[in-house]
Structure 1
Amino acid sequence: MRTVMMMAVLLAGAAPVAAETVAISAARMLDVDSGRISERPLVIAVDGRITAVGVQGALAVPAGARRIDLGNHTILPGLIDMHVHLTSDPTLSGMQALRYPNSFWTAIGVGMAKRTIEAGFTTVRNVGSAEFADIGLKLAIERGTIPGPRIVPATYSIGATGGHCDSNELPANYIFDRPGIADGPEGVRQKVRELHRRGAEVIKYCATGGVFSIGTSVGAQQYSQAEMNALVEEAHMLGLKVAAHAHGNDGIKAAIRAGVDTVEHVSFADAEAMEMAKKAGTWFSMDIYNDDYILAEGAANGVPEESLAKEREVGLKQRQTFQAAWKAGVKMAFGTDAGVYPHGDNARQFAKMVEWGMTPIDAIRAATIRAAEALGRSDVGQIAPGRHADIIAVAGDPTRDVTLLRDVKAVVKGGVVVKDAMGKVGR
């Protein structure tokens, strides 16, 4: 107690730290809410948060402000990916991955975090990693030790014994820890509490089978309605949002009935499931790019034929479901499953979203204001007062050519330049 009191006295008497003011300028700015491009924007940020947005010459630059000039480029908010696995490397799939210790995958995550933010994704939701590695990455990034996006960590994905979130690659006589496994309503409640205690900020669970798990049908439901109800109720009581991995229609509907916040993949949802989602306000997060990569490179990367066969079953159907869900008015957020394909290529999905029904601005909104809404966060997703000064720059108008987002020229996170492909942008 004496130590705490002494610390309080010292802090109370400490001189205040001067706030850093930054002025960010560019040729153009995309307002993702209205979809309009404005000329000669000026963004003022103090201690990493935006305080004012205006026009150069009309909005005053505070005295002593550090300048970041993004030149003849278009700025827009830092992008958000709702479904990544930073501690995964798609070139080491299947049995190849078992050659490496857990510490290797944490180290991999450092490099993948850097690739991700340099691709313009300043916020990600990491929906599953072993050894609580996403917590470690988050803390190291926040301390400034390593570069990377803001991370909303799930820690382990929760799954049923023998299901998609279990480890079924080896024969059953091999005994090892499976920290994400929980069965029964009380079991899943306890697992949610444990992951929350360990730092999870979102709960992700496997409602159905999946493509990359061994011995599971891709669409088969793997948790009962009672188990899903208990899991979601417990997470929401703790203030956590819930993401459900679900390909199959029955599992999708059960997840929506349970009250999940987002459904991931959503490959085989029918019209009734879409209406349920609309009524409940459930978000769909659909990874419709990675089929191209998996089928082209998966075999060489070690993906077993069992999984490739399931991907061939899922790929086209998932894209058709995406198109139908968008037309039906389901809320859609941008999620790629990066880690199943190379990190840093997240923006390749924008073109697929446009190909399958969205306009470019709608696809961009899915990765900015819509994703922020799905996360329940008002501090990211827009260039607006009160938000983090997370800003990216591209050459041209991404509302006309969404593929421009695959070539981000500069990234600013919290008012600090973390990527500059143009040369010196600050002065």
Structure 2
Amino acid sequence: MFENLSERLERSFKILKGEGKITEINVAETLKDVRRALLDADVNYKVAKQFTDTVKQKAMGMNVLTAIKPSQLMVKIVHDELTELMGGKAVELNLENRPAIILMSGLQGSGKTTFTGKLAKMLKDRQHKKPLLVACDVYRPAAIEQLKVVAETVGVDVYTEEGNKNVVEIAQNAIRKAKQESYTVVIVDTAGRLAVDEEMMNEISNLKQAINPDETLFVVDSMTGQDAVNTAKEFNDRLDFDGVVLTKLDGDTRGGAALSIRTVVTKPIKFVGTGEKMEAIDVFHPERMADRILGMGDVVSLVERAQQQFDEKQARELEKKIRKNKFDFNDFMAQIQQIKKMGNIKELAGMIPGVGKALKDVDIDDNAFKGIEAIINSMTPKERSNPDIINQSRKIRIAKGSGTKLEEVNRLLKQFDQTKKMMKMVSGMDKGKMAQMAAAMKNMKRP
């Protein structure tokens, strides 16, 4: 996501490196390159021009402090303007009513049904809501079945009326059921439609008027680039939706939709889909996205994802085992599962400042842990609990059982042993020693 734009912007800022001060000439040259980078990322031309004009105006009006280089100042200005361009701050869902009603809209294939499941899971797991999904796509073959599968996957209920084509009736009946059975959120999944299809647009307009949703969300595939912005505008003119959802931001997308859509439709981007897994949904934070675009990482989002998978009781038990030097392969496997739930491995690594750039051309498969899992699963319960008993003959058997080489088994055992020692050393430190260690690492010079 945004890799090409990040690289282009970094090149643009290099024009100012070595310059003693910001002048109209070197700013103009830098921003010309920035504008090209934005246009190449499929940002709307008017948005790109307005953006660079604003940055130029602010840059020329600033005094460069002795301690700050012109390129650093330009990065700061661009960062602030990117944040503002994408909305300034995150906008939450309005879920005050009981039940709160969310209406989904969008084109065919934009990922509405999948996102409906992701949103339900997020509200259930993170906000302890009780969602009810409503199947109002009565046209697409197997659409109702797909929503049932999604609902079962995320562990929520779904309301359907087989044979009924009246979406207003279906939605109203579902809301009635939700009130009777204490559901706190109703998410209405609708059929994909084109803005030029008058009959279908009238249907969703009538549905919105009939159920008066607390939130109407427009789901758009970010890979459609500038078309996504145009479609959003057409839908907004008819529906006056409350927010945008950008799906497939993990794909081969240039990111222009995320940078243009807020300006064109004046509605906030509320969520982004970042992968195929049901956990792959993020609240859209403009400032954090600006950090990622400029290669600064996104540590806050990384920590939040870790906390979502964090089990306090399990962590306390794990700490006790580490202190007693009883950390085993069962614990190791549990940690792998938690990391996998956090999302795409390359994306997670890219949230660490500086790492995203280093991994730009490195292909990290989502199945990166597959070989490790196969080796651990080929161990007996006794071996997983007591790794010290794994001798040469056991290693050969584990390698054959997991379809791996003996060297791979040896490598995993060595890595496990090193991890175990490091975890014991860190858990045995008091806060004072850890602070000293952190300070020492900070002061170390790079080779």
TM over 0.5: no
Give the structure with higher Rg (CA).
2
Give me the TM-score of the superposition, normalised by structure 2: 0.31
Q: Which has the higher helix share?
A: 2
Q: Which has the higher strand share?
A: 1
